Structure 1
Amino acid sequence: MFERFTKDARAVVASAVEHATQARAAETGADHLLLALLDASTGRASSVLAALGARDRREGIVGALEEARRRGGLSQAEAEALAGLGIDLAAIVSRVEDVHGVGAMAAGAGGRGHREKGRLTGHQPLADDTKDILRRSLRIAVARRDRHIGAEHLLLALLARPGIPTEVLADHGVTYAEVERILSGDEAGGFRATG
């Protein structure tokens, strides 16, 4: 499948792996993919994110992702559902962090590299959500009759599935519908992804 990725899409995936490695995460997750998309400076996804103001709000997006990690990877909707049941997630996080340190509940926290039989391999595996996004990006490209999978397909695939990155982007004005609207406008103007 990677042979169908454009140079920009490959760079986004490589950057996501680097973000995960730097964060000492056990796997490359959808949040790392989102950070890589925000960092990209070329391609249609970068243009769309700039047009929607997401690149200008990168700091707020990163902060929201970090806050979700502190909540153990629970989305704001999940935190609100727990609050409806009388469970104060903020109090739980605070108590855990008092005992174990700030960020103790961070989802995906771990050492550098993948552990295999007690030793580090140096390999950074992709999380299930990231694998799903890659598969969805192929389906989206095919449905749009695009020959190659670009970073814009990765962005659409990320936004097509529920999760913290999708919730955070929506809170910052980036939705599947808005991205699709801008991309459709690009195509009407004759601009299409190329390999």
Structure 2
Amino acid sequence: MFERFTKGARAVVTGAVAEAERTASPRITDEHMLLALLDSRGTRSAFAFASLGILDRRASVEAGLADARRRGGMTQADTAALAEIGIDVERIVSKVEQTHGEGAMGAGGTAKRGWTSHRKFTPAAKKTLEQSLRVALGRGDKEISDGHILLALTARPGVVSDVLADHGGTYGAVERALFGEPG
């Protein structure tokens, strides 16, 4: 699959690795790919982010991701579903943080990696890369671009797609920004 990646798509993957290293994360996640996409310049995804006003709201995107990490990776849909049955996630998170410290439910820390410092992609991040191939094939494209990775991030349910949607980056909006109106 990686032989089909354009230079921009490869830059997203290497940027995600760098982001994981910068944050001392033991694994590469969808969040790291999103942040690598936000760091891209002169690419289709950068154009889409600019046209949707997301580039100017990077701090807000990062805050949304941090808030989800604080909730233990729960999406807004997860939180709402639990609220419907009387479970207040914010209250639980606050109690856990009172006992164990701020950010205790967040995914983090260091994993034992043996003799290598090579970081692996999480299963979800691998599925996102696979989804980018499906998006490209569905559009009739022979290569996988950074734009296809961005579309895959919006298509897969989870924290990253929630945060993007909160900032106007739904699948439809991103697709229109990347490729224009369907003809």
Verify: 1:145 aligned to 2:140, yes or no. Answer: yes
Verify: 1:127 aligned to 2:126, yes or no. Answer: no
Q: TM-score, normalised by structure 1?
A: 0.88
SS in 2 for 1:56: helix
Retained in 1: the 8 A contact 2:68–2:159? yes
Retained in 1: the 8 A contact 2:47–2:177? no
Retained in 2: the 8 A contact 1:115–1:121? no
* Alignment CA distance shift 1:184-1:24 (3 Å): same
CA–CA distance in structure 2, aligned partners of residues 53 and 9 of structure 1: 21
Higher normalized helix content (fraction of residues):
2
Aligned to 1:162: 157
CA–CA distance in structure 2, aligned partners of residues 100 and 23 of structure 1: 21
Give the 5 Å matches for 1:44-55.
44-55=44-55
SS in 2 for 1:24: coil
CA–CA distance in structure 2, aligned partners of residues 160 and 96 of structure 1: 32
Retained in 1: the 8 A contact 2:29–2:125? yes
SS in 1 for 2:121: coil
Structure 2: gaps spanning 5 or more residues: none
Verify: 1:22 aligned to 2:18, yes or no. Answer: no
Structure 1: gaps spanning 5 or more residues: 189-195
Q: How many Å apart are 1:120 and its aligned residue?
A: 5.3
Identity, % of aligned positions? 49
* Alignment CA distance shift 1:58-1:88 (3 Å): same
Q: TM-score, normalised by structure 2?
A: 0.93
Deviations 1:13-46 (A, max 9, x none): 1111121222222211111111111111121111
Retained in 2: the 8 A contact 1:140–1:153? yes
Aligned to 2:81: 81
Retained in 2: the 8 A contact 1:4–1:147? yes
CA–CA distance in structure 2, aligned partners of residues 85 and 145 of structure 1: 44
* Alignment CA distance shift 1:186-1:16 (3 Å): farther
SS in 1 for 2:55: coil
The number of residues matched between the two structures is 183
Verify: 1:115 aligned to 2:112, yes or no. Answer: yes
Q: How many Å apart are 1:185 and its aligned residue?
A: 2.1
* Alignment CA distance shift 1:99-1:43 (3 Å): same
